[in-house]
Chain A
Amino acid sequence: MSSTWKAGNSFGRLPSTHIVYLVALLTLVVGAVLVATTGRNFFSPGNISSILTGTSVLGFIAIGQTLVILVGSLDLSVPYVTSLASLIAAGVMANSSSNILPGVLLALGVSAVIGLANGLIVAGLKVHGFIATLGMGLIISGYLATNFKGSFGQTPFAFRLVGATGLGPVPVSTLIMLACAVLAMVLLHRTRVGHHIYAVGGDLNVARMSGIRVQTPIITAHIICSVLAGMAGLLLASRLGVGSPTVGSQGGYDLLSIAAVVLGGTLLAGGKGSITGTLGGVLIFAMLDNIMSVMQLNPFVKDVVRGIVIVVAVAVYARRTILKRPPRFGHGQPEEPATKQEVAA
């Protein structure tokens, strides 16, 4: 079966990132046609700007989520970190421009501490990332629900400009997001810890036996993910002008970011994938949202479409990956000494 795919179908040989961008292109074409039928222009500067704005918040979170998924973990605490960061930033700034820097630093610092805690729980206590970050998310959510009843604080005008201005049709927030993406790519492809992230995500035991300190990449990935979630919180605070305890969970950023990462061709099990793919996934989501808004689809039907697109798109990649790469060394479990003896005898 795999040979027919390899021989007959050039699709099977495409790297998954290319497929992501093919899907994005397809979405673009379909979107342009659909939008044109309503008599509007998909490529008008206003529409492009609104699509790119839609990519920024999810983009920040999805970049961080990519690192965490690559290392073989998950982060479900991001929406709460985002809300918390927006509250801290807006609370510290309290509508005074001189407080912008302390507000930003404190929000990102608290996010980093949460990421450190996540990383230590996953790497040190050997708790599955799903549970560790679900628990951490619940802890923060309880704190938020107890201490904040509604929006809180206020961001000064200078800070609000970040979320509102743009260079031509490209919003500043998207540029910052892309800069973060480039930094993350440099980290992944040019630094030791980046290579270790791939190694640990590919197979933790093999990485450990090759002499990698497996804790470092796991903790690093979690810290960066939380800091980026904090950045998303800052951006939301700058857009809304206030901090809000529910802004993250309302966006459903935990599951959507994971979906965007997987849509970008990254293996959910870790070890394989790229930031470029994730950006493609985020772009697909942003375009879908935009198309459905322009078409004035019922907002609840959007969720249905999103759900179907996620499953179908991932099914397409999954088919490819599975057929192209059969497992070479079994399932990653080290062989027990006992079975070795039996084979030898």
Chain B
Amino acid sequence: MSRTLHADSGAVLQQNRAGAGERFRRTLLTPGGAVFILLVVLLAAIIAVNPSFGEPESFIRFIGRTAPIAIAAIGQYFVIVAGEFDLSMGSVVTMQVIVAGNLIGDDDAKVIPVLLLMIALGALIGLVNGLATTLLKVPSFIVTLGMMLALFGLVMYWTGGAAQGNPADSFRQIGRGGIQDVPVLGIIPYPVIILAAAAALGFWLMRRPYGRTLIAVGDNATAAALTGTRVWWVRTRAFMLSSLAATVSGILLVGYAGVHPSVGRGYEFTAITAVVLGGVVLGGGRGWLLSAAAGAFALESLFTLLNFLGVQSTWRDTVQGVIIIVAVAAAARSWQRRRRGSTAPARAEQHRITATSAKPAEGTEQGGNGY
């Protein structure tokens, strides 16, 4: 479909007919592109404060440390771009950590079955969230809030609120270990590989018909439904992807943080912050998946920077709060301008195109309704 649009160059706005360099520059100026600039600036600042951070080995470890939250952000992206929220993410992470801790125990043979069980549980929670949102028409904010309370209550009931269980070392290696003796980097942590795979998979998915439909549903669900999209199923799958991402984060966090009911607390808001920082618009239909992951990295490098600067860790929240308000205010302005068509030539071009396409095309009876 996109090919036919491009072949008919009259349908491409003048503002979009530019060289690769110009298009790249424009992309960087959108909120989804600006987060990469922010990320580079933050990383440069960290390296300026603490040069050893720039060494390949510690840098790759930083990526590994950020992987769980970046994967959660990727999952949350699917839900937010479809115009919904997933507040149950943190509780899903907690639940998966506890499940792993209690069911695997010291038995290496149980690793694979429990892993499969966790993935099935994740998919099931997403399915329930999605069906309650789409078929029962309960706002996703309420559905996932209810799921968050219910899951957290179950986990606390099960554990009594104390740290409990210790999964086999082979399981913890997923979050903790890596491929040893790599030239230059020294070690490639498994979380980095898993993050790269998740990002690549997500990127590919957003280019598939499913991803295109998901964005269309988030932008205008009525229009998407009228063009024949099964909106409920598209949204439900987004919730399943989100819960599955939370599951993967949980698996990684077992290796990092160990088994405790406080692991994953507040993850939903951190993930939403990261997604929003990546320029994805709450309410859906706008934003890029990789920007959401970059948002997670920007957030984490901000915390690292504050850490190196000797700022008390209790101020983290405040900085995070200021950052998201500023980022979203800037993004709101920028997306608005882009949507309206920022320059006079762009507007003239739009007028030219709408004027021509309003005439009946050859071989059809009426413009606009010619099928």
Interface residues of chain A, those whose CB is within 8 Å of chain B, are 121, 125-128, 130-132, 134-143, 145-146, 255, 258-259, 262, 268-269, 298, 300-308, 310-311, 314-315, 318-319, 322, 327, 330-331, 333, 338, 341-345
Contacts and interface: CB of A to CB of B under 8 A. Distances in A.
B20 interface: no
A308 B142 CA distance: 10
A70 B142 CA distance: 16
Interface string B75-92: 000000000010100000
A342 B149 contact: no
Contact of A268 (B132, B141, B220, B324): B141
Interface in B107-153: 132, 136-139, 141-143, 145-153
A-B pairs with the 5 shortest C-beta distances?
Answer: A142-B318, A303-B153, A138-B321, A307-B150, A307-B149
User: Range of interface residues on chain B?
Assistant: 35 or more
A128 B137 contact: no
Most chain B beta-carbon neighbours within 10 Å: one of A131, A137, A145:
A131
B141 A258 contact: yes
A344 B366 CA distance: 11
B324 A135 contact: yes
Contact of B367 (A307, A308, A330, A342): A342
A304 B222 contact: no
B322 A139 contact: yes
B205 interface: no
A315 B333 CA distance: 36
Nearest to B320: A138
A344 B148 CA distance: 50
Nearest to B333: A126
Main secondary structure of the interface of B (DSSP, over half): helix
A310 B90 CA distance: 19
Interface in B318-343: 318-325, 328-329, 332-333, 336
Given A331-B222, A341-B354, A301 B153 contact: yes
B161 to A, nearest CB: 8
Given A268-B139, A302-B153, 9 more contacts: A134-B273, A135-B325, A136-B325, A139-B318, A146-B314, A301-B157, A304-B150, A333-B220, A345-B367
Contacts of B368: 342-343, 345
Contacts of B358: 341-342, 344-345
A315 B138 contact: yes
A137 B321 contact: yes
Contact of A143 (B137, B139, B318): B318
B329 A342 contact: no
A262 B150 contact: no
Nearest to A74: B141
Contacts of B359: 345
B321 A142 contact: yes
Contacts of A138: 317-318, 320-321, 324
A121 B325 contact: yes
Contacts of B357: 342
Interface of B: 85, 87, 132, 136-139, 141-143, 145-154, 156-157, 161, 220-222, 269, 272-273, 276, 282-283, 312, 314-325, 328-329, 332-333, 336, 350, 354-355, 357-360, 366-368
Nearest to A333: B220
A304 B157 contact: yes
9 contacts: A126-B332, A131-B282, A135-B320, A141-B317, A300-B157, A305-B153, A319-B136, A341-B354, A342-B368
A318 B157 CA distance: 30
A255 B145 CA distance: 7
Contacts of B148: 255, 307
B329 A300 contact: no
A268 B136 CA distance: 15
B146 A310 contact: yes
A229 B34 CA distance: 36
Nearest to B147: A307
Given A136-B321, A258-B145, A330-B222, A303 B139 contact: no
Nearest to B282: A128
Given A268-B142, A304-B157, A130 B325 contact: no
A125 B358 CA distance: 37
B222 to A, nearest CB: 5
Contacts of B360: 345
A137 B266 CA distance: 13
Contacts of A310: 142, 145-146, 149
A126 B329 contact: yes
A308 B141 CA distance: 14
Contact of A131 (B138, B315, B318, B324): B324
Nearest to B366: A345
Most chain A beta-carbon neighbours within 10 Å: one of B282, B323, B328, B358:
B328
A262 B269 CA distance: 20
A318 B323 CA distance: 35
B132 A311 contact: yes
Given A125-B332, A142-B316, A301-B157, A131 B142 contact: no
Contacts of B355: 341
Contacts of A142: 314-321
A345 B364 CA distance: 13
A303 B150 contact: yes
A116 B64 CA distance: 41
Given A300-B156, A301-B157, A338 B141 contact: no
A331 B283 CA distance: 13
Contact of B283 (A128, A258, A259, A318): A128
A132 B325 contact: yes
A300 B154 CA distance: 7
A165 B132 CA distance: 43
Most chain A beta-carbon neighbours within 10 Å: one of B315, B317, B336:
B317
B325 to A, nearest CB: 4
